[in-house]
Amino acid sequence: MTTNQQLKPITVERNKNLYIGGCKMEDLAEKYGTPLYVIDEKTLRSVCHDYKNAFKKYPHTKMMYASKALCTSAVSKILDSEGFGFDTVSIGEIYTILKSGISLEKVLFNGNNKTEEELDFAIKNGIGRISVDNFAEVDLISKVGGKYNTNVDVLLRITPGIECHTHEYIQTGQLDSKFGFDLSQTDEVIKKITTEHQNIRIRGLHAHIGSQIFEPQCFHDEIDVLIQEISRIEEKFGIKLDEINIGGGLGVKYTEKDMPPSINEVADVIIASLEKHIEKYNTEPPMLYIEPGRSIISTSGVTLYTIGSMKQVPNMTKYVTVDGGMADNPRPSMYQAEYEAEIANDISNRIEEKVTIAGRFCESGDILIKNIVLPKPETGDILCVYNTGAYNYSMASNYNRVEKSAMVLVNNSQSDIIVNRETLDDLISHDVIPDRLK
């Protein structure tokens, strides 16, 4: 079993009260307030080690953390110390990494509508790679590169005709996507770059085939497409591409019924596919970029809430309301995502009951967990929701004009704040009242 197959952080202990990273969750809630994001450092580093160990058999591998899952300065420093690079999708993510003291040589800039301002900042500060997504972007990259009299290393993002989401595996001739070049367009973009833009250097191909992937076979087929295309490009254009980026997307265990493949299983499929298709298409072993995001950070994160009001609908649902909800975790309302949770404080001798965990926001759809069995909740209890490290804080909002939550890092019985809780003054800090309204 690797870390992505675990529902809870690896340091979870229960001794009447719930402990993570040696810290009592009830104490953290009292000290920092709730809702509170908690990141377990040991779990985060453990999954990094899982990835590095799994891919040792293919030494030409670079791990790139997909920052969109959770991008903070402290998390970036941890990933950097573990030897990971970064896949970024905005100037904000790039800026966060740069200001954390990390060289942008380790960073890839991805996305389907990069602005000139973003490209200027990235190229000026020495971005390692840019994933080119469309024809207009080619001209823009060349223009900005010319401004700084520098060559820009790029990957061409292609749509390989493979889409893989959880248990659904679809293979089509042409994938309708807003991202990347269709395979029928790669010759055109290569001709455009080689004839019009001498300051752009094509280093390889980039593809991404899905999210929360449970079926490793789709990585095998993706590599087949990428290696075949590299071979074809070399034969037709005489251009030797030596890098492939296969994206990320490996699934995690949100609930007990989820059975994602292990990191080792996925690595074995990827490496076997590389060996097979390198030989089949007679190419040199390329540098392999992997971009895990969710599977790196998700399991290490939990969210703590304080239970408030309750409502029993006669002969129907019992609603237990917490002091957060869709603003700090929009995934249940957006994607019908499911989570597991438990009460963090002492629940000795309580009988169990089935309840629905509701959020505090002014939406009927603000439901975090439906029909969960818990020891009978009481007002003031601390609820711990598991596997919230990915796409919770990064998708959080100020809906209902509520302050964004704080985040702490726990390790060896020590807790450190890594994101301050927003204040009411923070909420209005960008508001402006025109003089004519005063």
- Active site (annotated) includes residue 362: yes
Q: Is residue 32 situated within a structural domain?
A: no
Q: Which of 23, 48, 164, 362 is catalytic?
A: 362
Q: Is residue 100 situated within a structural domain?
A: yes
Looking at the structure, do residues 170 and 67 belong to the same domain, yes or no?
Answer: yes
Structure confidence at residue 164 (pLDDT) = 76
Looking at the structure, do residues 343 and 372 belong to the same domain, yes or no?
Answer: yes
Q: Is residue 194 situated within a structural domain?
A: yes
End-of-domain residue from the set 297, 325, 341: 297
Q: Is residue 234 situated within a structural domain?
A: yes
What's the burial of 346, exposed, middle or buried (CB within 10 Å: 0-12/13-18/19+)? Answer: middle
- Tokens 């001798």 -> residue: 349
Looking at the structure, do residues 279 and 353 belong to the same domain, yes or no?
Answer: no
Torsion from C-alpha of 155, 242, 61, 183, nearest 10 degrees: 50
Q: Is residue 4 situated within a structural domain?
A: no
The CA-CA-CA angle for residues 246, 249, 254, to 5°, reads 165
Structure confidence at residue 175 (pLDDT) = 66
Looking at the structure, do residues 188 and 335 belong to the same domain, yes or no?
Answer: no
Structure confidence at residue 180 (pLDDT) = 82
Residues in the chain where the model's pLDDT stays below 70: 165-175
Q: Is residue 434 situated within a structural domain?
A: no
Contact 110, 155 (CB under 8 A): no
Distance (Å, whole) CA 285 – CA 267: 16
Looking at the structure, do residues 306 and 229 belong to the same domain, yes or no?
Answer: no
End-of-domain residue from the set 297, 313, 328: 297
Structure confidence at residue 174 (pLDDT) = 47
Q: Is residue 267 situated within a structural domain?
A: yes
Over residues 336-388, the pLDDT tens digits come to 999 999 999 999 999 999 999 999 999 999 999 999 999 999 999 999 999 99
Looking at the structure, do residues 313 and 190 belong to the same domain, yes or no?
Answer: no
Looking at the structure, do residues 126 and 194 belong to the same domain, yes or no?
Answer: yes
Distance (Å, whole) CA 433 – CA 56: 58
Which CATH number fits the domain that encloses residue 184? 3.20.20.10
Domain count, the chain: 2
End-of-domain residue from the set 297, 316, 338: 297
Which CATH number fits the domain that encloses residue 399? 2.40.37.10
Looking at the structure, do residues 65 and 143 belong to the same domain, yes or no?
Answer: yes
**Please, how many CA atoms are within 13 Å of residue 150, restricted to the half-sphere of its CB?**
18
Looking at the structure, do residues 277 and 331 belong to the same domain, yes or no?
Answer: no
What's the burial of 20, exposed, middle or buried (CB within 10 Å: 0-12/13-18/19+)? Answer: buried
| Token representation of residue 234 | 């070399």
Structure confidence at residue 169 (pLDDT) = 53
The full DSSP string for 14-68 is EESEEEETTEEHHHHHHHH-SSEEEEEHHHHHHHHHHHHHHTTTSSSEEEEEEGG
Distance (Å, whole) CA 309 – CA 311: 7
Looking at the structure, do residues 350 and 315 belong to the same domain, yes or no?
Answer: yes
Looking at the structure, do residues 274 and 305 belong to the same domain, yes or no?
Answer: no
Query: Structural domain of residue 288, as residue ranges?
Result: 41-297
Q: Is residue 25 situated within a structural domain?
A: no
Structure confidence at residue 356 (pLDDT) = 98
Contact 142, 197 (CB under 8 A): yes
Over residues 156-201, the pLDDT tens digits come to 999 988 777 655 554 544 467 788 888 889 999 999 999 999 999 9
Looking at the structure, do residues 88 and 215 belong to the same domain, yes or no?
Answer: yes
